[in-house]
Structure 1
Amino acid sequence: MKRAERLHALTEMLRRHGARGCSAERMAREFSVSVRTVKRDLAALERSGTPIWSRPGPGGGYGLAVGSSLPPVTLSSAQAVALLAAVAANPDAPYNDLARAGVAKILDVVDPRTRARAEELAARVWVDAPVSASRAVRSALEEALADQRVVRVRYTTAAGQTTTRDIEPVLFASREGRWFLIGWCRLREAMRWFALERVERATVLAEERSGHTVQEVGEPPRTSHPVSGVRSTR
């Protein structure tokens, strides 16, 4: 990790630890550098105006001053491009349009130099994204899950059988490059996986779903995990 990226990451790590702070030793382990290097980086952040406090002794550490005017988000150009690539490469991912809008907001508030570097780097990252499913279909499925309401779909199975069925949505899942809606199928009276590209139409009904849970779906595939678990301090 380059020093500029490490300074960004250090700031975000301190922000996440809040009032309890974080020890130099822990930061050194996290970034695979020496404690001396961490302290040198923290001193550089202080000189740049980052409001860092320090607490000596056992249980001490470093943190960000409460009520400081530090911007809510800081990104390196590489981090910005990582976000751009993630949303561009996954057009079928749930709430992708919202993710694109969020990334645009972030890029609007980063400093002009970082934004320019991100745009230059982004031009050298190509993605081969699959053709997206119908925007109207995806919007309906996203709304149904977010609002916990029943969705009526016209669905064609892999065997070519087309049916209209009501689904109580439970979660979205990605598997082997494909996106699925998992929910209680009232037609089959069972939990089913529905490939998004096989949903021809989707209409959100006024009826709320009856309360089927993620636990009923079972354990995720071995290579899968909830996006809430995707969190890094780097």
Structure 2
Amino acid sequence: MKLERLISMIYMLLNNEVLSASALAEKYNVSQRTIYRDIDAICAAGIPVVSYQGVNGGYGIMEEYKMDKSLLGSYDVESLITILHSVSTVFEDERALETIHRLQTVGQESQTQSLSMDIGSWRANAESLRLLRTAITGKRVIRFDYINAKNERTNRKVEPVRLMYKYGSWYLYSFCRTREDYREFRVSRMADVVETPETFHRTHVVEHRERAYDMSRKAEQVEVVLHFSADSLAMAMDHFYDADKRFNDDGTLTMTLKVINPSEARWLLSILLSFGDKVEVMEPAELRQIMRTKLENMLSRYAKG
């Protein structure tokens, strides 16, 4: 109970210029003598509490210790707290939690939260994410089995550089010693991840490589036209939210999106097949034929039973 009271008192002092001992005693239903002992304990913990004398005197925290409220607006504070809270949940980051507590002293308690974020770990094991982050900060070489887009299983030994959350999934950007080049590994496809005792000392500069990778994704795009049935609109919007949309009079939906080499885009084929008979590929003709072949192969597999 005392620890909870001390923590609460610290936040009270951070959020107020001066608080009298009597006001604190009334709030926490204790004697003023207890408040004096609590203030001594807070000072002993390294938090600079200042005593102000006079009629309007009391206790406060040195202004130099507080974050300058003029540096951040309430919108900035809210956004930062939301992002840090999501990160701290995934990685159990105590330093992020401490930063959140400091930021909360700048924000307005009565303000309604307008933003919420959950980058969670439902697509990747949270323990693996924490292990990878520890390896990155400690510059430890890691080893794991990896399933690539061709369903090939390989063993990799890498120097981890950065964890990235994009396209709704977690990725590890690292220098792959197996391939002697930089690679992105989707965390959900990594198995038996082990942090080795070996450390690496080279400095990895990755910004220009990432930009080149992103630019390559925009090259040679082909238009794909899809026609969705009226009872699959929500699912279509979830998967292809950035496509051009045309809602038809009969309740169906026509979407146009641009894809690099769609006939070899395994991710696109997987999504389209998940719709069953709720989608029809209109263009390009090559992708339409590939879908037809896939469906015929599936039908023949079940016909054998």
Higher relative contact order (CA 8 A, sep 6+): 1
Q: Please identify the structure whose Cα radius of gyration is greater.
A: 2
